[in-house]
Structure 1
């Protein structure tokens, strides 16, 4: 019994340490501020919006121990679809990478680190798609998340939906860090 309690205590301690490490995981951007409206730089160019449609520069620090790769997602839970809107999905970002440069989300993916893959978004193809809520709608929330993963590569097909990639991210996530901004027109 004493041995079982000691083992349980070790497991609990390991879980607490892991949670503390994940709590230190942070995400920031030099191109937009958390909890502020997105600048025109990150607004879609189409559907009546006239932004620059450039993905933000992102920087992350203190990923959880054991991180082998990262994924980055940009999601709008307020889109009037019943299921939100996936604006950007990038995965298989090598575990030694600490951020993405501004514009890395171009459709050709030229600014991404070697091995990183952009998944299909709700715009229909790969690449960053900026904010563009309906005219007159309340401000939408845009949730940018970096996910630390325990796998070097997610086992998804090249044409996987954002939901499929999201499922695999959640099943293999060690921790995540989030920035939220808003936009309305």
Structure 2
């Protein structure tokens, strides 16, 4: 596999969140030739506002986000679920990445979403919402990459079956043929 960079957007701001630790674990399990780049600073990006999204006033934190994702080959959201949907910080990041309309930093990039929650549903609604939003923002959602895992009965950071599914999702995202339509 040639060198591939996957920009990771973590949907939880807590320093010790399960999904942050999961993103770090995935980075350590990445296959040879794949670099998992956890994008920091999502908490520093103001809520999207078209009034400030012009060349004279784009916040430096939004510019940095756009540059990191634009430089990556793929994008992976690692996120919990808040009140049945994706966290506001992830939604806001996708909003900034979707602009300028039709030419945002995620346009044409393979996108996947994984994560874990301490609920029986494993974050499936948040993951579906993140995939839908990313698709509208122009990303190519790779459906086989979605992994929604409940953290109620297993330790997602050590369970071999869960880690195999999650690291397999990273591998599938990295190997996705960008010349073929998404699944």
Which has more helix, going by share of residues? 2
Q: Common fold, TM-score beyond 0.5?
A: no
- Could you state the TM-score of these two structures normalised by the residue count of structure 1? 0.29
Structure number with greater CO (CA < 8 Å, separation at least 6) is: 1
- Could you state the TM-score of these two structures normalised by the residue count of structure 2? 0.29
Give the structure with higher Rg (CA). Answer: 1
Which has more strand, going by share of residues? 1
